[in-house]
Amino acid sequence: MTPLYTLYPSWISPEIIPGLPFRWYGMMYLVAFGITYLLFQRQVRREKLGWSEDEVSNFFLAAILGLILGARLFGTFLYEPTGLYWRKPWLVIWPFDEAGRFVGFQGMSFHGGLVGVVIGTVIYARRRALDYWEWADRMAVSVPLGYTFGRLGNFINGELWGKVTSGPLGMVFPQAERFPTSEAWVREVAGKAGMALDTARINLPRHPSQLYEAFFEGIVLWLVLWFLVRPRRPYKGFAVGAYLIGYGAIRFAIEYLREPDSGLGYIIKLGDPDAPIHTFTTLWNFSMGQILCFLMIAGGAGFLAWRKSASVREAAAAQSARSGAGDPGRRKKEARKLRKKLG
């Protein structure tokens, strides 16, 4: 029987130079930051926004600092089930293990990074009196393509793999958990995938969910935001809302194929409460990632409604100021026209 899976490429190594603490994962982060910055600057120049390079650089510095801090805090306090970081909070910023070896900052959360970016850039924009939603829209349409490289970094690290599958897209990750061949479901999956059952434990194929995310949350979402949303945004903040809804929806769907954190499992169990986390069996059990994505979608929809209403009021006030109109009836009429125009 022809195997219906592929092996994780043996020539891929997480380390750029073996033996030295320089990893491709960190390099992918730098590439992601660089691509996002270049796309942002391209908009500034093409649209002749008049923002200085110093302002853009400082805005990005605030975003990067917020991202790292937020991603680290969420990844350690929210996703670490043993409570290690609650007992020893200094380990959040300590990049060495107990043996003194440099391991970097293992455990970063996208949702925490998003919160950190928002907080960091809002603080900077307020201090510099910037039109925040204009800046945030440009950032929102630039980020996804950079995010592609972050997920490629996860793939190179051989981490954050998906659930077990017997389908043709399955891949065997060397560091993934091995299952006892004495269990019926393990033998069934192995048989469908064309694997030999000649050992007590077997490493089953899994969805390469890092690559799914790199493609859909990165490339596809960027294409939609860059070519469809960016040139047609009806009001400030629209691209931000579209990003929140788009990313949240895509990630929510992919989470069904991604294995939840073993220490957390499913947070909400509306389906089979005993469903294993290693295989896809029900649509009604939800992981922490899906809960946070649902909040992103709901928050994005609410945010768009708020920004649409606010944009009508802002435009009406500006138009009244230009015309010098003091008649309340006329202002209401102008506001109705603007609402109709904005849909």
Q: What is the pLDDT at residue 328?
A: 62
What are the structural domain ranges in the chain? Answer: 5-342
pLDDT value of residue 253: 98
**Residue corresponding to tokens 């077997």:** 202
pLDDT of residue 104: 63
DSSP 257: G
User: What span, in angstroms and rounded, lies between the C-alpha atoms of 152 and 25?
Assistant: 8
What's the confidence (pLDDT) of residue 199? 92
Predicted local distance difference test score (pLDDT) of residue 254: 97
Q: What is the mean pLDDT of each run of 10 residues along the chain (343 residues)?
A: 84 84 84 96 95 96 93 80 74 70 70 94 96 97 95 91 95 95 94 92 97 98 98 96 98 96 88 92 95 97 97 84 63 64 61
Q: E-strand spans in the chain?
A: 5-7, 170-172, 179-180, 201-202, 266-269, 285-287
Evaluate whether 6 touches 170 at the Cβ level (below 8 Å). yes
Q: Check the CA dihedral 240-242-248-250 and report its sign.
A: negative
Return d(Cα 224, Cα 78) in angstroms, integer: 31
Would you call 255 exposed, middle or buried from its count of C-beta atoms within 10 A (0-12, 13-18, 19+)? Answer: buried
The model's pTM: 0.87
pLDDT, residue 329, reads 65
Residue 245 and residue 294 in contact, taking contact as beta carbons nearer than 8 Å: no
Structure tokens at 279: 């295989």
Q: Give the pLDDT of residue 262.
A: 73
- What pLDDT is attached to residue 332? 64
Question: With helix as H, strand as E and coil as C, how does 73-108 read?
Answer: HHHHHHCCCCCHHHHCHHHHHCCECCCCCECCCCCC
Q: Cβ neighbours of residue 231 under 8 Å, at least 6 residues apart?
A: none
**pLDDT at res. 341:** 61
